[in-house]
Amino acid sequence: RGQLIAVKDTQGHETRYEYNAAGDLTTVIAPDGSRNGTQYDAWGKAICTTQGGLTRSMEYDAAGRVIRLTSENGSHTTFRYDVLDRLIQETGFDGRTQRYHHDLTGKLIRSEDEGLVTHWHYDEADRLTHRTVKGETAERWQYDERGWLTDISHISEGHRVTVHYGYDEKGRLTGERQTVHHPQTEALLWQHETRHAYNAQGLANRCIPDSLPAVEWLTYGSGWLAGMKLGDTPLVDFTRDRLHRKTLRRFGRYELTTAYTPAGQLQSQHLNSLQYDRDYTWNDNGELIRISSPRQTRSYSYSDSGRLTGVHTTAANLDIRIPYATDPAGNRLPDPELHPDSTLSMWPDNRIARDAHYLYWYDRHGRLTEKTDLIPEGVIRTDDERTHRYHYDSQHRLVHYTRTQYEEPLVESRYLYDPLGRRVAKRVWRRERDLTGWMSLSRKPQVTWYGWDGDRLTTIQNDRTRIQTIYQPGSFTPLIRVETATGELAKTQRRSLADALQQSGGEDGGSVVFPPVLVQMLDRLESEILADRVSEESRRWLASCGLTVAQMQSQMDPVYTPARKIHLYHCDHRGLPLALISKEGATEWCAEYDEWGNLLNEENPHQLQQLIRLPGQQYDEESG
């Protein structure tokens, strides 16, 4: 029948495939001989899959729709449908029930989540316009005359938070701006904007982060990355092999050489500083089994289902084995070697109620609401255990966190989000001694603002500093860190070209108000002048007004270039930052983590704040 029965890689590792008489794939045999199987019913629908002795099964109704999913733990998730095959109810492993209602055209108009009711509203063009939760308006969507989304807004903890979008004539995203307004005065509290530009091939090769020079990605061929510039300064260069894989990365005096196995797996990463050299070893199934470095070697073991079961770390005067145990569904369990008295074998509802450090409690939506320090048996209780409490809004976003000890508050934090669920602000009150000598929470919070470019957190700013991250294109792996002191940022404040002309544009030298269209054109012209890329369209418009680019440039306030500290992120194979490297090649921050991205050790002589963990993760000092 022409079905694939075997694949052999360049190292001779063979994966084989078996089929039933109907042509369904029934077995995948890995190079080490392990088998993963799938069984089917008479209609060719998969009814169970088995991997490493663990089985997940599915049941169907007469119409061929999945109505019951049974996990490896034996827990069930059930599904119900209407006569048009639309999902109308699902009940999860933890008993949480969600229901969905559609109109005659198939649009979702009502959803229920354990009593939390959401209504969805549309315009005549079937575009989503707003959403109400528990009878209150949640988000609002606005569109332009072409149907492109221009604004999403909502209220977060009393603050109006809006995301604005801009596009070019081809409908490509050219800008995203987040704004936060004061609950009472509507004053603008925070604004963050990122702009994008495209080359002739349609590749997004230019990005202008908020308050930074333009980031330009240098590419060749069909878009392979060859380098990166910040403003006019080249920062990073890449050398690639004939398969376009990165083999050399340069940043100032930093050089990272990368080699690959014949099968294309990462084999080694060697620096001109031996401290971070790493060699990687893989088994026949493609699992990473060893990472060797000058400081230590870590070896990894796996179960038949491919889950990590242990780590063996060896170094000079060091030999540690850490086992990891999971239930059949993959939830972490107390390991029998470290906790021989534990009788726990599974978490049926997929909610971990305790581990070696904490006791956990959840609400009916499955949200963590409280965790408390676990006091080991036999230890005298002194009521000094710390309790962490978590509170959420109707969108399941963490908005309030407290940590207490001896029934006294230690820390309190509140969070703001944009309509897309991205955190845009944090306010923290910490326990301190007040003027009377009593210990209490601070009266004034520490405020941190966050700025985003799509799903990537690019800016963190507080009253002392602004930290901005430039990521590798199309990735959550950080590449460049730029830190600017808040005092330096204040020196960059300047009037826009439109504001400067309006303030002196009257016949008597006084102020004048321009129409919005003119302000928009002047803003575009100013950005082109600053980028030294004035378009022909702008030149023609100026000529029609009897003006030149030089005349407009003379009206612009001077641009102050603040002092910035720039570092390269040196990351591991997963994208987890291991070190911050200066352009002089010095390591100014470094850290060591466990297999899950938890910080174990940190060397930070320059007091650099580095909170990025595994790709897409950001450590929060208060809530974790």
Residue 389 has pLDDT above 90, yes or no: yes
Say if 504 falls within a structural domain.
yes
Contact 152/140 with Cβ under 8 angstroms? yes
Whole-number mean pLDDT of the chain? 93
Residue 489 has pLDDT above 90, yes or no: no
Whether pLDDT at 380 is above 80: no
In a domain, 179, yes or no: no
Choice among 76-90, 238-252, 344-358 with the minimum mean pLDDT:
344-358
Are the beta carbons of 597 and 616 closer than 8 angstroms?
Answer: no
- Which of 154-158, 197-201, 615-619 bottoms out in mean pLDDT, i.e. has the lowest? 197-201
The confidence score (pLDDT) of residue 146 equals: 95
Can you tell me the mean pLDDT for 396-403?
97
* pLDDT confidence band for 532 (50 / 70 / 90): confident
Residue 507 domain flag: yes
Q: What are 276's two structure tokens?
A: 């971070």
CA distance 250 to 583: 10
CA pair distance 178, 99, nearest whole angstrom = 32
Percent of the chain with pLDDT over 70: 98
Number of domain units in the chain: 1
> Is 318 among the domain residues?
no
Stretch 222-249: mean pLDDT, rounded? 96
Asked if 163 and 407 touch (Cβ cutoff 8 Å), the reply is no
**Does an H or E element contain 105, and which?**
none
Which residue in this structure is represented by tokens 């075997």?
A: 6
Tell me the C-alpha distance between 493 and 560, whole Å: 8
pLDDT at site 441 = 87
Residue 537 falls inside a structural domain: yes
* pTM for this model (two decimals): 0.90
501 belongs to a structural domain: yes
Give buried/exposed letters for 202-231 (b at 16+ CB in 10 A, else e): eebbbbbbbbbbbbbbebeeebebebbbbe
Q: Is residue 266 a part of any domain in this protein?
A: no
Residue 337 pLDDT > 90: no
Between residues 531 and 424, the one the model is more confident about: 424
pLDDT-derived band at 342 (thresholds 50, 70, 90) equals confident
Band of pLDDT at residue 478, cut at 50, 70 and 90: very high
* pLDDT tens for each residue of 100-149: 999 999 999 999 999 999 999 999 999 999 999 999 999 999 999 999 99
Residues 254-304: tens digit of each pLDDT: 999 999 999 999 999 999 888 889 999 999 999 999 999 999 999 999 999
* CA atoms 101, 107, 394, 596: torsion sign: positive
Checking if the pLDDT of 508 tops 70, the result is: no
DSSP string, 425-465: EEEEEEEEE-TTS-EEE-SS-EEEEEEEETTEEEEEE-SSE
Separation CA 361–CA 365 (nearest Å) = 12
Kindly calculate the radius of gyration of the chain based on its CA atoms and give it in whole angstroms.
29
Instruction: Let me know if residue 31 belongs to a domain.
Output: no
Assigned token pair, 132: 């109400």
Domain hosting 532: range is 497-555
Q: How far apart are the C-alpha atoms of 596 and 576, rounded to whole Å? A: 10
Position 379 pLDDT exceeds 70: no
Share of the chain above pLDDT 90, in %: 81
